[in-house]
Amino acid sequence: MARLLLGVTGGIAAFKAVQLVRLATAAGHAARVIQTPTSQRFVAPETFRAITGAPVLTDEFEPDPLRGAFPGDPLPTHAAISHLALVENADAFLIAPATANAIAALATGRADSLIGSAYLAAECPVLLAPAMNHRMWHHAATRRNVAQVVADGVTLIAPGSGRLASKGESGDGRLAEPDELLAAVESALSGARASGGDLAGLHVLVSAGGTREPIDAVRFVGNRSSGRMGYAVAARAAARGAEVTVVAANVALPDPPGCTVVRVSTGEELRRACGAAFDAADVLVMAAAVSDFRPVAPAGGKIKKEGRAGMTIELEATADVLAELSAARRPGQTLVGFAAEHGDGALEHARGKLTRKGLDAVVLNDVSQPGIAFDATENAVTIVTAGEDRQVARAPKDQVADAILDRVLELR
């Protein structure tokens, strides 16, 4: 997941920015929108607000109710200066559509608008998607301004050719299509990852979700894990520059951006997939809930209830994947396990797992607390290591993921 700041300036192509925001949020990104007053004659801020779930800003002096935070992030305690906080928190800043006027302002570094100020304060990748009439696009002044912003480090998403807004006219100047805009943003993000990020150069293997052990052709022994915590670790690791492989057991969430996802269902499949990827990994984060038992003899068809007053399913123990991988670890690998504990003695049980399974850290979830852990968007954990334990107070899973990755970096 990335934080995308979208600047919308006043052109008829602003309607495509709406589609872009829909695609970006569906792909798991958090988006905030800033608009010029003119652009609001084409698309009302309510439209962007409804899709992003966040207020839209127009003026640099307008207070931001979210104080620069993106959807899913916690509200900062102090009110920041909106244009600086928003762009500081963004992973990418896309201006689409960018009018000839907006490009001229950017080329000369004018800070007399929210978008202009955010542009000057941006340290993340900035992308520009122009849209205008083809004669305006080919004018020497526009050519000069576009060349200037590109020389200043902006990624240009060139306009396409085709029918233009003005009746009967066609040529260059059509805003790139929404899927092209999103692809350009994602490629700028992976470029930024390759060149930086505190996890750059590391390969992180994450298991996520919950395994299903067949009872018959339609029923299984499973658990409540949704994969949210593992996916958050994977997405944050990728956003911080790591190469990420996710082994996903029955996860019904959109793929975390920038990760390779290997889908499995049973514990045995998960064991094989993790085994195949483990040697290349520098860090293993085992967030999947792997069933400890499975039916000894799953039925091939569907078991019928007819003639049965009850039923007993015999279970056998499954392999402990994490313990097996730990036994095969090579020097330089960092291994993190999870422990779902209920109530009393949780810390002692987690500490026991740390030593028994030969791990560097165990992320302890107290699953007796309501509203966190299983299938929730928030979590509160204790990261147990041989050294000092680290408490992570209740927060969105993305932030808990960052805290886990911070601890991994400290341990390496």
> Residue 271 Cβ, how far from ligand CTP at the closest point, in Å?
8
- Shortest gap between Cβ of 412 and ligand CTP (angstroms)? 19
Smaller CB separation from ligand CTP, 70 or 338: 338
Phi-psi region of 70 (alpha: psi -120 to 50; beta: other; left: phi over 0): beta
Q: Residue 283 or 288: which CB sits closer to ligand CTP?
A: 288
Residues interacting with ligand CTP, by CB under 6 A? 267, 286, 288, 290, 292, 318, 320-322, 337-340, 353
Q: Which one, 152 or 279, has the nearer CB to ligand CTP?
A: 279
89, 223, 250, 365: which is the annotated catalytic residue? 223
Strand partners, 265: none
- Shortest distance, position 48 Cβ to ligand CTP, whole Å: 40
Separation of alpha carbons 268 and 319, rounded Å = 8
Q: Is 223 a catalytic residue?
A: yes
Q: Which is nearer to ligand CTP, 100 or 354 (CB)?
A: 354
Give the nearest distance from C-beta 343 to ligand CTP in angstroms. 12
**Cβ-contact 257, 240 below 8 angstroms:** no
CB of 113 closer than 8 Å to CB of 40? no
**Residue 169 to residue 162: CA distance in whole angstroms:** 9
CA dist 227 to 50, 207, 235, Å?
A: 27, 9, 12
CA dist 412 and 409 (Å) reads 5
Q: What is the DSSP string of 273-315?
A: HHHHHHTT-SEEEE--B--SEEESS--SSPPP-TT-S-----E
Q: Which residues are catalytic?
A: 223
